[in-house]
Amino acid sequence: MAGKRKFRRDVAARQAARQQRVRQLRTNRDDERRFLMEFLEALEAQERAPQWPVVSVYGIGGVGKSTLLRWVWDEFCERYPAHRTHVVHLDIDSDRAEAMSVVEFFWFMRMQIHQQLQEPLLAFDYVYLKYLEKAHEKIPFNDGPIQQFIDRIARKDSMLSGLLGGVGNIIQSLPIGAVLNSALAYVRDSAREKTLMQQLGVELAEIDDWTTGDIELLLPQLMAEDLGLLLLELDRPLLLVVDGYERLSGKIEQQFVESFAASLLLDEAFATRAAMVLLGREPTDWSAYDDPADTQRWNSDCIRHMHLRGFSAHFADQYLAAACAHYRADGRTSLAEMISRHAREIKEACRETQSHQEPTYHPFYLDICLNTLEARGADFDPGKHLGLTPKELMNRFFKYMNRDELSLHLVLSLAVHFNWPLVYALQCQGVIRTWTQTEFLQYVARHSYIADSEQAGMFHFNRLMQESLTTYMRTLDEVQRHVLRDSAFTALHGFFTRALQEALQAGERDTAVSLLDHSAHMLMQVARVELLPVSEACELFCELAKQDDDMLLERRLSWNRAWTILLRDMLGPDHVQTRKSFDAWADSLESLLARGRALLQGQQPDHD
């Protein structure tokens, strides 16, 4: 056991060293850091609204947008250890965004707010539950905000408390009608919620007569107003960070801007308590949402755009000098000497030149060079391992990678999200060589482009590495593609199919939905790298998703929409498979409506 603990400490030390390297190699961005620090300081002071309530940080993938924000936040926390500012971070996954409805997006936001504030938004939570009841969707009783909401109601209602078997003992068969009936008076009598509903001109009891469409339009504004009043009550500011903002659908963005952002950021009562940072590849453009009757304009008056480019030659030199200092401090003098000796070749491999602009040096590619030097050690040869352009650098990075590691990179890129149980299953089927769990964790810790996913113990490649692996797989010859298709894809599809069936048989709905999500991500990636035709990948997903209507119907509805969009983009809107996917989407919607009609007639689904 002592040996195992030592291995775990070694892994933790590697991860800490990797993070230390990232921190120590921060360079450049002085103007941006200064502005963002002043932005945070103004928000913390709460004396007046920030000059720019929204900051749009944009630039190509991997240029350091998220790193810059973490850097400034670390400096802010060091400078103001007793600060009161909360940060709510929304990381928008590309495939997930395609499948997300407006209501799902705002509930995702609500979950992140709950993690940070641990405070109720009674009116929003009540109306959200009414929406689920009217839409005949299953109530996610395990979600933190709903548990907290029901706990509070149960403390005031002895009958409901009895139904729960004691406060906090949430059971899946709980009649939601009993909760909502008990909640109505409690929410309506809350001082904050009473003020909120008066401001909105809405009577909670009237929502019984509203349609789901009406409630969907109310929820974004209700979230903003409820959150704003809570921040006033707590006397604390909040920064909302949306990473991958460009991935939001047009419908979600419209509600986010017109109902949520306008209510939270432009209301004088809340303006000193809230601000946003939007991270994306393109500058945020909200001009389409300007109010013609208002002289204030989103883009010119409310949004500060900040374009992040690659490093200049001067700052690329600083980056490499910082890397040398880091390795010397870590006792790896030979690595520092190699970097110093080959600095010119490293910069050349990372150089990006655009017309009429000075060349820049992308931080991601500089980091890839450091990964290459660490892996090659004394065998490092710049002429062999680097190349003269970023494209050549990535090709050679994969070409000269250890065969076992390259195999693992490619297979895990197909999986999109991965963890130890998946790796263990793959090696049991002979897809990859045998890895111990410690070796896998060391593999994760060794590569700075592997990031933690939202789900504990789950990982993924950062966006640029995932895109690089996607491009690389498209260049494989037919024999290599055949091997990937027949071994890796077959094993991945079999793993998710078996795991999903087991979860469904055990009645584990949350696990089943998560596995369906992972399956969809994997199948879409298989289509993108052209291992399978996109139409065949879509068919395989449909086979998986139709196994249990009760548990998977709502999620299948969202993914059918995402597949329809992918097929439209890859095959065209009039292709027979696109139309077929659209019909499957419509069928899922009709099934959901049929379930609703059955509930109205008093028929209860088996799983409820």
Written as one string, the DSSP assignment of 392-461 is HHHHHHHHTS-HHHHHHHHHHHHHSSB-HHHHHHHHHTTSS----HHHHHHHHHH-TTEEE-SSTT-EEE
Q: CA 404, CA 413: separation in Å to the nearest integer?
A: 14
Residues 377 and 333: beta-carbon distance below 8 Å: no
Q: CA 221, CA 294: separation in Å to the nearest integer?
A: 19
Tokens 């850097």 locate to 71
What type of residue sits at position 95? D
Q: CA 258, CA 253: separation in Å to the nearest integer?
A: 8
Strands 238-243 and 86-91: parallel
- DSSP class of residue 311 equals B
- Could you tell me the end-to-end alpha-carbon distance of the chain, in angstroms, rounded to an integer? 45
Token pair for residue 82? 């007793």
CB atoms within 10 A of CB 143: 18
Token pair for residue 328? 């010397």
| Cβ density class 80-101: b for 16+ within 10 Å, e for less | eeeeebbbbbbbbbebbbbbbb
Residues 484 and 476: beta-carbon distance below 8 Å: yes
Rounded to two decimals, the pTM is 0.72
CB atoms within 10 A of CB 296: 10
Tokens 């055990």 locate to 506
361 strand-pairing partners: 311, 351
Q: CA 460, CA 452: separation in Å to the nearest integer?
A: 6
Q: CA 381, CA 119: separation in Å to the nearest integer?
A: 56
Q: CA 114, CA 102: separation in Å to the nearest integer?
A: 18
Q: CA 43, CA 47: separation in Å to the nearest integer?
A: 8
Query: For residue 541, which phi and psi values (nearest 5 degrees)?
Result: -65, -45
Q: Which stretches in the chain have pLDDT values below 70?
A: 1-28, 94-96, 98-99, 154-179, 181-182, 354-357, 548-551, 553, 584-585, 587-608
Q: CA 451, CA 236: separation in Å to the nearest integer?
A: 30
Instruction: Give the Å distances, CA to CA, from 359 to 284, 312, 364, 391, 426.
Output: 25, 7, 15, 15, 43
The pLDDT assigned to 491 comes to 94
Q: Which residues contact 463 (CB under 8 A, 6 or more apart)?
A: 61, 62
Question: Is the Cα torsion angle 134, 140, 146, 147 positive or negative in sign?
Answer: positive
Residues 492 and 415: beta-carbon distance below 8 Å: yes
Q: CA 360, CA 350: separation in Å to the nearest integer?
A: 8
Tally helices (H) and strands (E) across the chain: 29, 9
Instruction: Give the Å distances, CA to CA, from 454 to 90, 168, 514.
Output: 10, 25, 12
Q: CA 367, CA 435: separation in Å to the nearest integer?
A: 26
CA 482 to chain centre: 32
What type of residue sits at position 248? L
The pLDDT assigned to 84 comes to 92
| Secondary structure class of 597 (helix, strand, coil) | helix
Region for residue 44 given its phi and psi (left: phi exceeds 0; alpha: psi -120 to 50; beta: otherwise): alpha
Token pair for residue 549? 């209507």
Q: How many residues does the chain have?
A: 608
- DSSP class of residue 247 equals G
| Cβ density class 400-421: b for 16+ within 10 Å, e for less | bbeeebbbbbbbbbbbbbbbbe
CB atoms within 10 A of CB 64: 23
Q: CA 138, CA 423: separation in Å to the nearest integer?
A: 32
Q: CA 415, CA 93: separation in Å to the nearest integer?
A: 15
Token pair for residue 586? 């419509």
| Secondary structure class of 98 (helix, strand, coil) | helix
